[in-house]
Chains A and B, each alone.
Chain A
Amino acid sequence: MGLPAHTRLCGVELGVTYQRDWRYDLHMTHTPARCLILACGNTLRGDDGVGLWLAEWAEQRFSDQPGLRVIADHQWTPELAEDVARAQSVLFIDCSLDSEPGTLHLTPIEPVSGSPEHNTHHLGAAELLALGRELYSSLPRDAQQLTIGASSIEFGEKFSPAVTAALPAACRLIEETVLRLLSNPE
């Protein structure tokens, strides 16, 4: 369902004419991403912030790639299901408390309609995919998740030695993955 073209709304003359073709496209400057990086974490909780650090690195590294979009936030909230559903491919980045500190894991993610009874405010990558499929009848062609094993998520803005040492390899892995996802035919 799209909105008609507008030049004047609510008594205000608009600077441009808008024509939306996506119901919830509030980011009208963005076309659907060929590759969406979705990172989460808290920069005040030690290694928990590594996802955001890597997202920032990727944004700079691929600043000349209009097909890449980066969203970095504290949590993955249900609203992001739309961004995920619209993207051709998604790379989720987060730290992991279940992995050895500093270890990297890149794994494909499939949609799972979990039971977020306790966490209605934030979802996991698989749940975001499932919610996007449920509401928008759309899934990215490829969805991967990169996790970095966390050593400490206590208060602090510094990464642990293990995570710090893993950053170069994490950047290389992101570079390879993004280039591969961007090269996939539309």
Chain B
Amino acid sequence: MSQTITIDPVTRLEGHGKITIQLNDQGEVADAHFHVTQVRGFEKFCEGRPFYEMPSLTARICGICPVSHLLASAKACEAIMAVRIPHTAAQLRRLLNIAQMVQSHALSFFHLSSPDLLLGMESDPAARNIFGVAAARPDLGLAGIGLRRFGQHIIELLGTKRIHTGWVVPGGVTEPLAPANRDEILVSIPQAYADLKLALTTYKQIAGSFKQEISVFANFPSNYLGLINEDETIEFTDGALRLIDPKGAIIEDGITASRFTEQFGEADENYSYTKFVYYKPLGYPQGSYRVGPLARLNIVKSMGTPQADKELAEFKQLATGPAESSFFYHHARLVEALYGLEMIERILADPLILDKHVRAVAGVNRLEGAGQIEAPRGTLNHHYKVDENGKMTWASLVVATGHNNNAMNKGVLQSAKAYVKDGKFTPGALNRIEAVIRTFDPCLSCSTHAFGQMPLALTLVNADGEIVDQLVS
């Protein structure tokens, strides 16, 4: 009799979800699904609101990366206003976005994934957490906290709040950067470099002991999508989208926010509230792809900063074409964070960074607008329609977890086949299947626009659809 395994909740994620593994009559894994089980419906209840409220409204979707929604939303609003924001405002927003990337990557690596990486996938679950990391490697515990605070503190200095700042508005930002705040960021950069380099060194030392995980953690050919500049350097705030195929060849380049909706569709699956986004010309599911740190490093030729470029060159040695295993998301995240520190230095050295002209003002000049940025976990698109009074009539938010949804499900199936044998699983196997999801660092709150609890939850179901086992980890 076939069975199904459910992991419910899956832990150390942003949001709530569960994993179901379907076994056949021989006890082999037949199928596996990653379910996101909550829905909040932001796209619907935004209708009727003034468009200029959208940045602060949609930022409330998430407490981890509200900055991403602020920025994508503000850009969509600016498309409606048909304005170009002042140079200094653009630079400050870039600073804000990169600071958020650094703090989010620090959270993902140090707080969420380092317990697996440092203590082992089969270590005692009761100690496989931040306390276990603090006890085993207090230097890394300190570095994690330090690096996260570094990014959060920049956000706080710019926007007066660590979370849900209202500083980003359509047209720019509300306040210029104060000289003392610039200096305060600058003085903390050396320690941030030290913390990040400790993480990079440690990761490289331990990655070799995860060869099996690397081989089955969503390790398959896929397409990759991300923002890139015209000079083929990595980009988080501007630029245009590039989609590459599994061999690294460009499928389409220069996809602007306004063209996103015509090129990308959203498929539904009955087991998840999260959309399955795909590239329309290739259809679903062939047009699925991955986004986020792994995708970004796979599509770019250069980071555009010297230290990160050295790390990118090393990263590119992992494979002859695009790096395929999602385990490498961890590595990519650290390379990106290093780039972030270099960019923060560069932005703060801009002679116009303290300029007080930071906002453009305009009304409704177009009835439709779209914005796209790179959130820490991948591409984020906001697309709005308004009436002539600026009231929202339609909204579409496409988030990183939607872009990655098909790859996450394939990854869960691949790892389940590797770690569930004869209809049984061990706690170590369970954690490894969860860890596949964690490599993507998905934000389930964002993906469903749902009110998220942290846990994700494993169910074992037989061929008759009966639940035969269930684990809450």
Contacts and interface: CB of A to CB of B under 8 A. Distances in A.
A3 B195 CA distance: 14
Given A74-B163, A79-B149, A116-B131, A121 B142 contact: no
A60 interface: no
Interface residues of B, number: 50
B190 interface: yes
B174 to A, nearest CB: 20
B187 A115 contact: no
Interface string B170-204: 00000000011011101111110000000000000
B183 A135 contact: no
Contact of B163 (A11, A73, A78, A116): A73
Nearest to A25: B188
A87 B76 CA distance: 43
Contact of B64 (A20, A26, A121, A131): A121
Contacts of B50: none
A118 B152 contact: no
Contacts of B184: 26, 28
Contact of A130 (B126, B131, B163, B190): B131
A12 B149 contact: no
B215 interface: no
B472 to A, nearest CB: 9
A6 B179 CA distance: 15
Given A27-B153, A81-B145, A82-B145, A9 B189 contact: yes
Given A10-B189, A26-B153, A74-B163, A120 B142 contact: no
Contact of B149 (A15, A24, A119, A131): A24
A177 interface: no
B182 A12 contact: yes
Given A79-B152, A115-B129, A135-B141, A15 B187 contact: no
A119 B11 CA distance: 8
Given A73-B163, A135-B138, A116 B349 contact: no
A74 B164 CA distance: 10
Interface residues of A, number: 39
A37 to B, nearest CB: 16
Contact of B183 (A18, A73, A82): A18
Given A79-B145, A79-B149, A118 B187 contact: no
Contacts, number: 119
A83 B284 CA distance: 49
A79 B135 contact: no
A6 B164 CA distance: 32
A78 B111 contact: yes
B255 interface: no
A117 interface: yes
Nearest to B131: A113
Contacts of B146: 23-24
B284 to A, nearest CB: 33
A14 B188 CA distance: 12
- The secondary structure that dominates the B interface is helix
A152 interface: no
B312 interface: no
A75 interface: yes
A134 interface: yes
A23 B141 CA distance: 13
Contacts of B111: 78, 120-121
Contacts of A113: 131
A44 B164 CA distance: 13
Contacts of B349: 10-12
Contacts of B164: 74
A114 interface: yes
Interface in B123-145: 125-131, 134-135, 138, 141-142, 144-145
A23 B131 contact: no
A3 B191 contact: yes
A14 B146 CA distance: 22
B107 interface: yes
Contacts of B190: 3, 9
Nearest to B455: A118
B403 interface: no
Interface string B430-456: 000000000000000000000000110
Interface string B149-166: 110110000000011100
Contact of B130 (A73, A75, A116): A116
Contacts of A15: 179-180, 183
B187 A119 contact: no
Interface in A8-49: 9-12, 14-16, 18, 20, 23-24, 26-28, 44
Contact of A134 (B12, B60, B64, B135): B135
A168 B64 CA distance: 34
B183 A134 contact: no
Given A9-B189, A117-B125, A131 B134 contact: yes
A73 B150 CA distance: 17
A121 B444 CA distance: 14
B128 A117 contact: yes
Most chain A beta-carbon contacts within 10 A, residue among B60, B134, B153, B189: B134
Interface of A: 3, 6, 9-12, 14-16, 18, 20, 23-24, 26-28, 44, 73-75, 77-79, 81-82, 113-121, 127, 130-131, 134-135
Given A3-B190, A3-B191, A9-B190, 12 more contacts: A10-B348, A12-B349, A15-B183, A16-B180, A26-B150, A27-B153, A74-B164, A77-B148, A78-B130, A116-B129, A116-B130, A120-B11
Sort A-B residue pairs by CB-CB distance and give the 7 closest, nearest first: A26-B153, A9-B186, A10-B345, A134-B134, A14-B183, A118-B455, A18-B187
29 contacts: A9-B183, A10-B189, A16-B180, A16-B183, A24-B142, A26-B153, A26-B184, A28-B184, A28-B187, A44-B60, A74-B63, A77-B148, A79-B145, A81-B145, A113-B131, A115-B125, A115-B129, A115-B131, A116-B130, A117-B129, A118-B9, A118-B454, A119-B454, A120-B11, A120-B111, A121-B454, A127-B131, A131-B130, A135-B141
